[in-house]
Amino acid sequence: MSRIFTSGNHRSVLTRRRALALTACGAALTLGGRGTLGSVRLDITEGNFQPMPIAIPELIPGSAADTDTAHGVTQIITANLQRSGLFVPIDPSAFIEKITNFDTVPNFNSWRTINAQALITGRVTRQSDGRLKAEFRLWDVLAGQQLGNGQQYLTTPENWRRLAHIISDAVYQRITGDKGYFDTRVVFVDETGPKERRVKRLAIMDQDGANVQYLTRGDELVLTPRFSPSTQVITYMAYGQGDPRVYLFNLTSGAREIVGNFPGMSFAPRFSPDGQRVVMSLQQGSNANIFVMELSSTNTTRLTNTPAIDTSPCFSPDGAKICFASDRGGQPQIYVMPAAGGPAQRISFGEGIYSTPVWSPRGDYIAFTKQTANTFAIGVMKPDGTGERILTEGFHNEGPTFAPNGRVIMYFSDQIGSPGPSLYTIDISGRNQQRVPTPSFASDPAWSPLLS
């Protein structure tokens, strides 16, 4: 029956209703005339995006001892959804109904009254084995029904923030249709001290700025950290003694090692989508070329061979192509080539200098830094070079990195007169620019994949 509805505009002459009517009334029914029962069919192909008003009442503590945790989880969910720009959490003081029982259906009318479209209810309980359990349900207030199934998550009490991020991701995914990005971390370069003697340490934190940890002591200069898409390993460039080198750092063990053993400097490393290879630039005289190294065997393959500086390589998410920046045409521009090397195709043609290209995990965009006479902009373009859009422009913006769902870009930005850079996020739509809290100045962010 449903096929009838899927077909073209006026094929629905024999609708279900009509079929029933015919059966019921027999041949005596001699309804004629088109349109009498042929249902009207409307195509809605455009919309009007509005952030969704969502009510997030305090999660119910399983016992009095869980009150603080329940409150904290509620706060984090609210902050996450608000920061995404896709939700508008409703001020709790407007709530009419107080949710006291997780197992009953809320009174939808009292939530409709305050214009909530979605409602989250939840409970946080400490288990007898010491673990923390969080449960939640998402309700569609207008339709008066639950969206999806309720979920529950268990973790150790120290990890309570992750519970909140996981719940936020589940809500985000259910409403937007896209995977979330809240249960993620960001590795970045923490900068302290005066401009002349800046100490740069590698640091890692949750995407919302919590749980900052420092990975290096600050006795060497670190740059361009990048997450492995599949393992708890990061790669970065550091100036130790002598030439800058590409390192691997294992987040779980804290061990670090130099990638390969090359004469001259190596820089701009990035993992392949499977995490098995690292692509980077190696200096050769006054030129730089792109090489890929198999991590297990340390076999290295040259991908470009030009008398130019080829740098900032980045794999496409399917691993088939690599985008990179090169000044082979005079000014640095963005090029795309097959992952095994071969002819490269220039995709950026605008005025100015293009650098730091990075391929979206969704595959639909390449983000870049674009430098014109006196501004640095962050922009995106399609992998074929069309559809270039500038998302933000200013005194100094650089180093875009995509959230794992490809919807949000983080970058670092210096304002005129500011003593140091800060991290910001912006949607790929160009809306919703937000500062990311960091303990001090910060640069070179790299977003992790989803942790769960």
Q: Which residues form the interface with other proteins (CB under 8 A)? A: 2-3, 5-6, 12, 15, 17, 21, 24-25, 28-37, 39-50, 52, 86, 117, 140, 142-144, 147-148, 174-178, 407, 429
User: Between vectors from CA 174 to CA 181 and to CA 4, what angle results, nearest 5°?
Assistant: 135
Token representation of residue 164: 């909140």
Residue closer to other proteins (CB basis): 49 or 100:
49
Shortest distance in whole angstroms from residue 394 CB to other proteins: 23
Shortest distance in whole angstroms from residue 45 CB to other proteins: 4
Given a contact cutoff of 8 angstroms between Cβ atoms, the answer to whether 61 and 124 are in contact is yes
Shortest distance in whole angstroms from residue 201 CB to other proteins: 35
Shortest distance in whole angstroms from residue 34 CB to other proteins: 8
Given a contact cutoff of 8 angstroms between Cβ atoms, the answer to whether 379 and 368 are in contact is yes
Q: Cβ of 384: how many Cβ atoms within 10 Å?
A: 10
Q: Is 238 helix (H, G, I), strand (E, B) or coil?
A: strand
Give the DSSP H/E element, type plus range, for residue 186. strand 185-192
Residue closer to other proteins (CB basis): 176 or 371:
176
Cα 371 to Cα 399: distance, rounded to the nearest angstrom: 12
Given a contact cutoff of 8 angstroms between Cβ atoms, the answer to whether 76 and 160 are in contact is no
Residue closer to other proteins (CB basis): 86 or 205:
86
| Residue of 293, 284, 215 lying closest to 255 (CA atoms) | 215
Shortest distance in whole angstroms from residue 342 CB to other proteins: 28
Question: What b/e sequence results for 296-333 when a residue is b if at least 16 CB atoms lie within 10 Å of its CB, and e otherwise?
Answer: eeeebeebbeeebbbbbbbbbbeeebbbbbbbbeeebb
Residue closer to other proteins (CB basis): 25 or 210:
25
Residue closer to other proteins (CB basis): 96 or 143:
143
The count of C-alpha atoms lying within 13 angstroms of the C-alpha of 27, restricted to the half-sphere facing its C-beta, is 0
Shortest distance in whole angstroms from residue 282 CB to other proteins: 38
Q: Which residues contact 267 (CB under 8 A, 6 or more apart)?
A: 223, 224, 237, 244, 246, 280, 281, 283, 288, 311
Shortest distance in whole angstroms from residue 57 CB to other proteins: 20
Cα 337 to Cα 323: distance, rounded to the nearest angstrom: 6
Shortest distance in whole angstroms from residue 150 CB to other proteins: 16
Residue closer to other proteins (CB basis): 389 or 435:
389
Cα 352 to Cα 155: distance, rounded to the nearest angstrom: 50
Residue closer to other proteins (CB basis): 30 or 261:
30
Q: Which amino acid is at 425?
A: T
Residue closer to other proteins (CB basis): 5 or 349:
5
